[in-house]
Amino acid sequence: MGYYIAPRFLDKLAVHITKNFLNIPGVRVPLILGVHGRKGEGKSFQCELVFERMGIEVTLISGGELESPDAGDPARLIRLRYRETAELVKVRGKMCVLMINDLDAGAGRFDEGTQYTVNTQLVNATLMNIADNPTDVQLPGSYDSTPLRRVPIIVTGNDFSTLYAPLIRDGRMEKFYWEPDRDDKVGVVEGIFGDDGLSRREVAQLVDTFPNQSIDFYSAMRSRLYDEQVLHFIHDIGVENVSQRVVNSAEAAPIFGKPDFSLSRLLEMGNFMVSEQQHVENSQLVEQYNRGLYSRKIVGLPTTPAVENNLTTVNNPPATHEVTNGDGYYKQYASKSNLNSETKAQIQQILSQGYKIGIEHVDARRFRTGSWQSCAMEGITSNADAVSTVEKCLNQYSGEYIRLFGIDPKAKKRSMEKIIQRPHP
């Protein structure tokens, strides 16, 4: 079975690329198509499948190439690759595109701590100039009056709000937000396990078991199933002999049989991977490290100010207790939070509709980039459990934004999303 191409994805790229090679009178076509969405959903891979399906040749640029110790090099690289791609169209006699992966990682500005360099400015200016004059792209120090062949540009990224706003305006860049629905996920995962004997029903059950996971989760799951065989191979030949056996060996490459791809085994591996993800989210060791760094200087923390809005009030902490770590002492304030009737009513409404409770938090700095993080909402079996869990999250993140929402388990969509706490200005 071949890999699955989402129909929406195929249609969007095919239309954009084709329009850029047509001459439609009176129609101005944006040169750049920006494909954005959350991490791990297969944006770049879907693009590659579309290019292969349409017989398109691709010139690639990585977001990591958009910075250099020499000012001007990344901008010159973009112009050079664009001209090379235009020449390919003429030489090969077929469609070619220029693709820039992870544009926001190379040219985005995530917060006030992100350094904005000369190269970042030049990359944005160069892309805007090419979008405005796609047939007149010159290299520094030379000028060629011969018009170039127009070449569509495809860029991928996670958050285009971090890019320079004039670059992403509609006249220059057409935006396509890629968020695969359930059918898309089932189709992609079916392609990943296409040679492993899983039925479509089993694939659908696997996707429904991990509805919040991205596409690369399932690819990683398949890879993890080979770990036992690889470990057995290492033990057989000895750890000290692995390098000689695997790299530049006169012997044939080791052959590994197909592992157990039963649904129960996949679910077991998936749950293990989810638990590892949860460990990362829950550890937050950087807070402990930073706390230890400043603990000797801190003699007492101010009481947490009241956080008030139309839904929630967090009371000022009435008491403190001392906590000891390896570097010294500091005072940590205990606090209690009370949900008002409107918030409790929202929780009850979510549960009464058969939805799951979701709650996320983010500090003021990351709020501007929308980098929300989930609070643990496990083991909720009643309205009282939900209220208690929400209050616990409010206590734990008393100085941050917190929002509450419902999750429809069938449609896998959010509903009734609302911010229930804002940090004190």
Question: Is 62 in contact with 102 (CB distance < 8 Å)?
Answer: yes
Say if residue 409's pLDDT is above 50.
Answer: yes
What confidence category does residue 400 fall into, taking pLDDT thresholds of 50, 70 and 90? Answer: confident
Q: Going from the N-terminus, what domains does the chain have, and what CATH number goes with each?
A: 7-177 (3.40.50.300), 183-246+253-283 (1.10.8.1070), 299-421 (3.30.190.10)
Return the pLDDT at 141: 80
How far is Cα 343 from Cα 218, in angstroms, rounded to an integer? 36
Say if residue 304's pLDDT is above 70.
Answer: no
Contacts of 24 (CB under 8 A, 6+ apart): none
Supply 78's token pair.
Answer: 């973009």
How far is Cα 41 from Cα 213, in angstroms, rounded to an integer? 9
Closest CA to 273 of 219, 234, 327: 219
How far is Cα 314 from Cα 324, in angstroms, rounded to an integer? 26
Per DSSP, 65 falls in state G
Say if residue 322's pLDDT is above 90.
Answer: no
pLDDT, tens digit, 9 for 90 and up, residues 173-184:
999 999 999 999
What confidence category does residue 209 fall into, taking pLDDT thresholds of 50, 70 and 90? Answer: very high
Supply 387's token pair.
Answer: 């209220």
The two most distant CA atoms of the chain are separated, in Å, by 77
pLDDT, tens digit, 9 for 90 and up, residues 224-236:
999 989 999 999 9
Question: Angle 32-35-36 (CA atoms, 0-180°, nearest 5)?
Answer: 130
Global pTM reads: 0.64
CA distances from 62 to 110, 117, 154, 155, 242 (A): 18, 18, 12, 10, 33
Bridge partners of residue 325, in order along the sequence: 328
Strands 337-339 and 312-314: antiparallel
Strands 319-325 and 328-334: antiparallel
How far is Cα 335 from Cα 376, in angstroms, rounded to an integer? 19
pLDDT, tens digit, 9 for 90 and up, residues 276-287:
888 887 776 666
How far is Cα 46 from Cα 264, in angstroms, rounded to an integer? 29
What confidence category does residue 294 fall into, taking pLDDT thresholds of 50, 70 and 90? Answer: low
Return the pLDDT at 47: 96
Query: Per-residue pLDDT averaged across 288-295, rounded?
Result: 59
